[in-house]
């Protein structure tokens, strides 16, 4: 008997391998189909713009000022949304193929199909959360380092050094 009482151990191992592979491919697709550096830049700009807009609203700025700021803001939000949806074009079909074609054809019989699907989603969910936390910490560190390099370039007054480091 395995982790789920109705699944044999060899089936559980196969389901775990499939779940780990699916999670790995999902993460890889997200990193390859989006530009993480550009996403960090957009997130930083959006954060700054939101702060500016809140200040404008507190100071009761004119509608024209708010609309001008919002015109800068909306294209960034659109780009961010587009970049976050790109990986879904790979991940969603892969999930459907796994769920409807691969898992039902495992050698476990019809009565145990729900157990294998449950185990698959438990593993994918757990790995997904862990991977998201690790990637978030990595991206924050990377973003902080990039901001420090930009600040150093501004302090030095030589932007060519920053461009050389990027390449």
How does DSSP assign the chain, residue by residue? --SSTTS-HHHHHHHHHHHHHHHHHHHHHHHHHS-HHHHHHHHHHHHHHHHHHHHHHHTT--HHHHHHHHHHHHHHHHHHHHHHHTTHHHHHHHHHHIIIIIGGGSTT-GGGHHHHHHHHHHHHHHHHHHHHHHHHHHHHHHHHHHHHHHHHHHHHT-HHHHHHHH-
Give pLDDT tens digits for 51-60. 888 888 888 8
Q: What is the pLDDT of residue 10?
A: 73
Pair (9, 60) in one structural domain: no
Q: In which domain, by residue range, is 92 found?
A: 1-34+86-167
Write the pLDDT tens digit of every residue in 101-127.
Answer: 888 887 765 456 677 788 888 899 999
Q: Are 41 and 58 found together in one domain?
A: yes
Residue 24 and residue 90 in one domain = yes
Q: How confident is the model at residue 1 (pLDDT cuts 50, 70, 90)?
A: very low
- Examine the domain organization and report whether 64 and 51 are in the same domain: yes
- Could you tell me the pTM of the whole model? 0.69
Looking at the fold, whether 112 and 155 belong to one and the same domain comes out as: yes
């Amino acid at each position: 008997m395995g982790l789920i009482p109705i699944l044999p151990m060899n089936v559980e191992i196969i389901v775990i391998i499939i779940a780990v592979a699916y999670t790995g491919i999902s993460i890889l697709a997200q990193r390859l189909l989006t530009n993480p550096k550009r996403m960090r830049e957009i997130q930083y700009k959006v954060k700054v713009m939101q702060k500016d807009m809140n200040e404008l609203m507190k100071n009761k700025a004119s509608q024209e000022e708010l609309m001008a700021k919002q015109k800068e803001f909306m294209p960034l939000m659109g780009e961010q949304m587009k970049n976050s949806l790109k990986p879904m074009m790979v991940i969603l079909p892969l999930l459907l193929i796994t769920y409807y074609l691969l898992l039902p054809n495992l050698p476990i019989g019809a009565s145990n199909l729900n157990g294998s699907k449950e185990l698959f989603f438990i593993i994918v969910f757990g790995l997904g959360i862990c991977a998201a936390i690790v990637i978030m910490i990595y991206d924050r560190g990377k973003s902080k380092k990039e901001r420090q390099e930009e600040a150093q370039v501004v302090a030095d007054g030589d932007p060519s050094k920053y461009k050389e480091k990027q390449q």
